[in-house]
Amino acid sequence: MAQPLAPADPLDALEGALEAERRALLEHDVGALLESTRAKLAALRQVEGQALDAAAGARVSALSEFNRANSVLLARRRREVTWALRHLGRTEATGVYDAGGRSTARAQARSLGVG
């Protein structure tokens, strides 16, 4: 399967990646989220490698706000997953250390049914 051609303008590529990231977050599509993150990082490397004209400043600011909005949505999704895991009796790795200084996750038992 052929890869779609990347836009010639790195800001267009960045905008496309941010739109794909937002769509993936809204649709809970992990695969698309990972792919859009790769595309966003590649586009950012392109933007950093080129000199932008003075007129691009407003667009860069708008794209920065778009990225910030996506990060808010990502944080919300992360809280939802953490809440669901906690209520299922699962925990995520946390920064808890035992007496020997080893990092451990605290096990949290939760009964999901009445026997």
pLDDT digit string, tens, across residues 39-98: 999 999 999 988 888 888 899 999 999 999 999 999 999 999 888 888 888 765 555 666
pLDDT tens by residue, 22-34 = 999 999 999 999 9
pLDDT tens by residue, 33-47 = 999 999 999 999 999
Pairing of strands 96-97, 103-104: antiparallel
d(CA 30, CA 74): 11
Neighbours of 24 (CB within 10 A): 20
> Is 47:14 a contact under the CB 8 Å cutoff?
yes
Q: Is the pTM of this model over 0.75?
A: no
Cα dist from 54 to 31, 57, 65, 89, 102, whole Å:
36, 6, 18, 53, 51
Q: Which residues of 38-72 are buried (b: 16+ CB within 10 A; e: fewer)?
A: ebbeebbebbeeeeeeeebeeeeeebeebbeebee
